[in-house]
Amino acid sequence: MRKYFALIALFLTFIGNAQILNPVQWKTKVIQKSANEFELVLDATIQHEWHMFSQFTPDGGSLPTLFEYKNQKGNYQLVGKTTESKYKKIYNDIFEVDEYMFENSAQFKQVIKVTNTNLKEIKVYVEYQVCKEQCIQQDETFTFKLPEIKPEAIEATTTPNPTLLDTVSNTTEVYQTTKTEKTQEVPVKKIKREEKKTDKWNLFLITLLAGILVTFTPCVFPMIPMTVSFFLKQSAKGDKTKGRMNALMYGFFIIAIYVLISLPFHIFQSLSPDIFYEISTNVYLNIFFFVIFVIFAISFLGAFEITIPSSLANKVDSASNYGGFIGIFFMALTLIIVSFSCTGPALGLVIGSVLSTDGGATLLTIAMLGFGFGLALPFMLFALFPSMMGNLPKSGGWLNTVKVVFGFIELALAFKFLSMADLVMDWHLLERETFIAIWIAIFGGLALYLFGKITLPHDSPMSNISVGRLLLGLLSLAFTVYLIPGLWGAPLNVISGFPPPMSYSESPYGVGNSKGGTSTTEALPEHAHYGPHDIVAFHDYQHGLDYAKKVGKPVLIDFTGVTCVNCRRMEELVWAKPEILKLLKEEVVLVSLYVDDKKELPKDQQYVSPVTGKEITTYGKKWSDFGISRYQANVQPYYVLMGHDEENLNTPVGYTPDVTEYKKWLEEGIGSFKK
């Protein structure tokens, strides 16, 4: 009987320590669309509280889902891109980016056109990351079986069946393969994640304010009394209702025209659902926006004016002589065209800022609605309540001041687009310190301008500055001073998300400080490098173990990943604590194994895993396979304290945000080693 109890205990111990998780279950099917066109469908069922990431999740965050279509050359062609079901956008405060993720389920579709009648199957390799409090790097290869394809089907020109995927009544044949591996849930501590949603009302209010501010520019402000007087004359003729109605219609047409500008983007989005993502991550488009914003900014600063051809403006103006609503519509269009030199840069700022996000055409329409309403509001308000006209300030040099302030702000925002391109391409031309230095120069220059120390073309001579200008100058100066510590590593939470992250900098420790305020003359061991908080670390298991034997310390294996959120949380919130950092620097040898390292293994070191049967071709796959084979663990972070005999000193742990608990675990393992 004791034997049976021992076997049961051994089995339960194995279950308790095993960490082989497979939170995503896949089902695949083929839908025949025409004689030689097929739709490959992959349905992922994701366990509760776990999430995997979209193909389009931005760079700098977690690992996106990747698809590789094998045996493609000479056999079939991809028709369009791989599409996917709707994802959620959640802000990651560690990586400081919005991440696109799936919860509970996800579906991916790819249409292919077969060109080889002898093709019997298609293999699709999928690589993805799935996370909870821990993350898992996973990859699968799916085989899609195809029916017999007649040679004449390749030659014939066919039209794909427009039937939706979910409606399979017109489908020729459907084949299914299912993976149903049993998964094991491991209890982990729950950490709250906050979803950063784009608030439509906030966007509307911000663009509304932008539209109102644009009216206080030299191109728009003088037109308010001229336009209002036109509608007042109609009211003076005895038809006050008609005059007010026309004033309201004038404002309505201004709003409608701006909303109409956004409508083509709805068409673009319907043709390509990923267009806004492509815009936000496309290097050339980001550089294009940067150049356009710089040109607009220089225009606002007074170097030149951007105008629409006068012939077009004259034609539109002449059309405003038509009576009724048609004439009012062309009056509104005339205002928009004539004032373009002032509203154009602001409008470009609105469009560019929204297009550089994943907000979609709906958010762009909301932004244009807010901007148009803000521009139209003063015209409608003063036409309805003409007595308020007396409260308007008189035109003067302050109008140009407003325009110049816009120019400085637009110039600062232009560098956000250049930064996006630089991050995507990893050029390191505009690292964090450089970006902040540019902003310091821009807003410092704005402060000097507002204080009257710098003058620009079209500025009126002034013997003193107004109270409003003084207050705005002080605000700009305060913001400039606030930015300066960012050069030395301050987080600058007020502008979080605008400058590049701390990891993308000339020195992660701040300008002029290479080791976080400490100095060391000790040479690094061979094959070692400085890890988080200057902890001496190894990226190779054997090198780390050899060094540990040499210095007589235990080994701390850190299964981690570049895109692992909670790995960074542990490093920033737990490892940074003095009591933990002291143990990591003095009592153990850290071996950090990155399971998402894409660097290819030398050909003679590549192999097929005897445990998973997968091809191991990169260092990341090697360390992932090592964790699965040795420790039955495929999660990150995952920590193992090991002696020189490669036996565990205590029970490995995963994500442990409690500093006291993690310290106790470290001291337990170190104590076992010293015994």
Residue 465, both tokens: 């500055």
pLDDT of residue 165: 37
- 294-308: pLDDT as tens digits: 988 898 888 877 666
Whether 187 maps to a domain, the answer reads no
pTM above 0.85, yes or no: no
Of 572, 626, 671, 627, whose CA–CA distance to 92 is shortest? 572
Do residues 165 and 242 share a domain?
Answer: no
643 touches 556 (CB < 8 A): no
* Boundary of a domain, candidates 519, 538, 572: 519
Distances (CA, A) of 112 to 78, 185, 486: 5, 37, 50
Count of CB atoms situated within 10 Å of the CB of 310: 11
Of 234, 251, 220, 247, whose CA–CA distance to 383 is shortest? 247
- 20-53: pLDDT as tens digits: 678 898 999 998 888 888 999 999 999 888 889 9
Do residues 251 and 286 share a domain?
Answer: yes
Do residues 404 and 445 share a domain?
Answer: no
**Helix, strand, or coil (residue 353):** helix
Do residues 564 and 579 share a domain?
Answer: yes
Residue 615 CB partners (closer than 8 Å, separation 6+): 606, 607, 608, 609, 621
Identity at 491, one-letter amino acid code: P
Whether 12 maps to a domain, the answer reads no
User: Which residues lie across from 304 on neighbouring strands?
Assistant: none
pLDDT of residue 171: 35
Do residues 574 and 536 share a domain?
Answer: yes
- 151-183: pLDDT as tens digits: 765 655 444 443 333 333 333 334 433 333 333
DSSP characters for 17-51? H-B----EEEEEEEEE-SSSEEEEEEEEEE-TT-E
Do residues 243 and 389 share a domain?
Answer: yes
- 580-611: pLDDT as tens digits: 999 999 999 999 998 878 789 999 999 998 88
Whether 381 maps to a domain, the answer reads yes
Do residues 369 and 410 share a domain?
Answer: yes
Whether 559 maps to a domain, the answer reads yes
Do residues 496 and 596 share a domain?
Answer: no
Which domain, by its residues, includes 43?
A: 22-178
Residue 44, both tokens: 């992922």
Q: How far apart are CA 217 and CA 210, in angstroms?
A: 12
Whether 393 maps to a domain, the answer reads yes
Do residues 313 and 172 share a domain?
Answer: no
Long-range contacts of 664-672 (CB under 8 A, 24+ apart): 665/639, 665/641, 666/556, 666/580, 666/583, 666/584, 666/587, 666/588, 666/641, 667/583, 669/554, 669/641, 670/554, 670/583, 670/587, 670/588, 670/641, 672/641, 672/643
Q: What is the DSSP letter of 648?
A: B
Do residues 163 and 229 share a domain?
Answer: no
Whether 9 maps to a domain, the answer reads no
pLDDT of residue 508: 61
Output the CA angle 453-454-457, nearest 5 degrees: 145
Whether 5 maps to a domain, the answer reads no
Do residues 36 and 130 share a domain?
Answer: yes
Give the chain's domain count: 4
Report cis status (omega within 30 of 0) of the bond before 637: yes
Identity at 613, one-letter amino acid code: G
Beta strands at 536-538 and 638-642: parallel, antiparallel or unpaired? unpaired
What's the CATH number where 599 sits? 3.40.30.10
Whether 17 maps to a domain, the answer reads no
* Boundary of a domain, candidates 455, 487, 519: 519
Do residues 413 and 441 share a domain?
Answer: no
pLDDT of residue 309: 64
* Boundary of a domain, candidates 406, 430, 454: 430
- Can you list the residues of the chain whose pLDDT is less than 70? 1-20, 93-96, 152-199, 234-240, 269-282, 306-323, 341, 345, 349, 352-360, 390-391, 394-396, 423-424, 426, 496-497, 501-503, 507-522, 563
DSSP characters for 293-325? HHHHHHHHTTS------HHHHHHHHHHTTS-HH
